[in-house]
């Protein structure tokens, strides 16, 4: 710490932080989001809050080789890369000893892709290529033909093509420069679907699964569907809705599903507060309520200033020595506590107005929220990330 620097230690947070304009700016920025207008919950489509059972993507994975690297591939100690290279060349009629290969222009990689539902043979997929060994960069590499398999072990697509990287890595003996992550790349439309994944038939009924199970939302979805087609929907539990396909729509289930997933409801949300103490970010949900509570909060500020006094002999003196003595000045200030009174059932708007009126920092707000929760007056879930 430089001489003359001033620091402030907060009794509540126990952390050192700068004072002055920076602190005031932090307070204003952290509490700015609290003053945003809060309106009624907007409607959401069923397709945004739920999934149709059986309609989902499938994960594909494969192992392959990237060639054409400029001495940035796997080293000779990466045994599986040498063995894979030898096996590939053997299939092409070239017999070599895997232990005798010294090629650093090749890298062993894992290739992943996501196959959307109802993908047909000939459709193309984007793939992600990730280094598996000790390659330093995949820049300029080309992925050789790599089968992509599903969880059942069957091949559903084949990937091949030139890699696109969002970074690079260069260096010499004394220094190196790296931008982003050069050992992971993408190949847009780099895989071709060779085999379709069988899709489930809906039959006379289908299941709708809420992405976030909730009894209130399940009831609202049932009421919304039954309002359009009387008596066809029922809730199996808080996360699953059974929908019978009407007789008039069985010949065109795609149209029926399009109508159902486009229906909108007003979803109910959990009362929740999310706090990130590392960055001072606080997000408070609209439905948060506070019981009757009185809040008082004050800080102790300690200012420390370090100086050095130098005592030295006068010019042309016959004796003596230079002596440096420290000079520490301390100033302790304690702020008066500010009481804030909130009535039972206070809304988020009233809580925000009260905290803004006191002029608290983000860390002070976090401390107050934790204390209110510990007192049992916060009718919401407090999550600290």
- What pLDDT, on a 0 to 100 scale, did the predictor assign at position 129? 95
CA distance 341 to 338: 10
Q: Which fold has domain 201-265?
A: Alpha-Beta Plaits (3.30.70)
- What pLDDT, on a 0 to 100 scale, did the predictor assign at position 332? 52
Q: Which of helix, strand or coil describes residue 26?
A: helix
Domain ranges within the chain, ordered by starting residue: 8-39+272-308+323-384, 63-193, 201-265
CA distance 221 to 243: 10
Of 108, 81, 196, 199, residue with least CA distance to 150: 196
The rounded Cα 240 to chain-centroid distance in angstroms is 27
- What pLDDT, on a 0 to 100 scale, did the predictor assign at position 338? 58
Q: What is the pLDDT along the chain (385 residues), one digit of tens a residue?
A: 443 333 333 333 333 344 444 444 444 444 444 444 444 446 889 999 999 888 889 999 999 999 999 888 888 878 888 888 888 888 888 888 877 777 789 999 999 999 998 899 999 999 999 999 888 889 889 999 999 999 899 999 999 999 998 766 665 555 566 666 789 999 999 999 999 887 777 778 889 999 989 999 999 999 999 999 999 999 999 999 999 999 888 888 889 999 999 999 998 887 888 888 777 788 887 778 777 767 666 654 445 565 667 777 777 666 667 777 776 666 655 555 555 666 666 666 677 677 666 666 777 777 778 887 887 777 788 888 7
Alpha-helical (H) ranges within the chain are 21-32, 46-49, 79-91, 215-228, 253-262, 348-358, 362-374
State the first-to-last Cα distance of the chain, in angstroms, to the nearest integer.
Answer: 31
Q: Which of helix, strand or coil describes residue 101?
A: coil
Q: 324 with 308: CB under 8 angstroms?
A: yes
Q: 113 with 191: CB under 8 angstroms?
A: yes
Residue 119: how many other CB atoms lie within 10 Å: 20
Record the pTM: 0.62
351: left (phi over 0), alpha (psi -120 to 50) or beta: alpha
What's the CA dihedral at 176, 180, 182, 187 to 10 degrees? Answer: -160
């Amino acid at each position: 710490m430089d001489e003359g620097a001033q620091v402030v230690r907060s009794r509540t947070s126990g952390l050192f932080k700068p004072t002055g304009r920076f602190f005031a700016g932090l307070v204003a920025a952290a509490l700015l989001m609290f003053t945003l207008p809060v309106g009624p919950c907007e409607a959401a489509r069923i397709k945004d809050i739920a999934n149709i059972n059986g309609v989902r993507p499938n994960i594909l994975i494969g192992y392959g080789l990237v060639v054409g690297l400029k001495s940035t591939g796997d080293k000779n100690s990466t045994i599986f890369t040498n063995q894979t290279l030898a096996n590939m060349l053997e299939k092409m009629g070239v017999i070599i000893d895997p232990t005798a290969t010294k090629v650093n222009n090749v890298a062993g990689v894992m290739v992943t892709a996501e196959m959307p539902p109802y993908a047909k043979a000939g459709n193309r997929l984007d793939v992600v290529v990730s280094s598996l060994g000790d390659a330093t960069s995949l820049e300029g590499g080309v992925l050789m033909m790599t089968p992509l398999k599903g969880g059942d072990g069957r091949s559903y697509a084949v990937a091949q093509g030139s890699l696109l990287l969002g970074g690079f890595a260069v260096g010499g003996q004394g220094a190196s420069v790296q931008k982003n992550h050069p050992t992971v790349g993408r190949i847009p439309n780099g895989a071709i679907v060779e085999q379709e994944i069988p899709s489930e038939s809906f039959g006379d009924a289908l299941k709708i699964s809420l992405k976030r199970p909730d009894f209130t939302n399940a009831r609202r979805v049932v009421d919304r569907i039954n309002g359009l087609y009387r008596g066809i929907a029922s809730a199996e539990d808080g996360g699953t809705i059974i929908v019978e396909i009407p007789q008039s729509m069985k010949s065109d289930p795609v149209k029926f599903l399009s109508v159902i997933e486009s229906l909108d409801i007003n979803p109910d949300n959990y009362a929740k507060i999310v706090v990130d103490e590392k960055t001072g970010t606080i997000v408070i949900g609209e439905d948060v309520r506070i019981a009757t509570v009185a809040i008082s909060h004050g800080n102790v500020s300690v200012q420390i200033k370090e100086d050095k006094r130098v005592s030295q002999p006068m010019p042309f003196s016959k004796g003596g020595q230079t002596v440096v003595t420290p000079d520490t000045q301390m100033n302790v200030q304690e702020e008066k506590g500010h009481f804030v009174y909130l009535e039972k059932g206070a809304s988020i708007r009233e809580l925000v107005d009260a905290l803004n009126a006191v002029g608290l920092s983000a860390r002070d707000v976090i401390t107050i929220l934790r204390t209110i929760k510990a007192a049992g007056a916060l009718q919401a879930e407090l999550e600290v990330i």
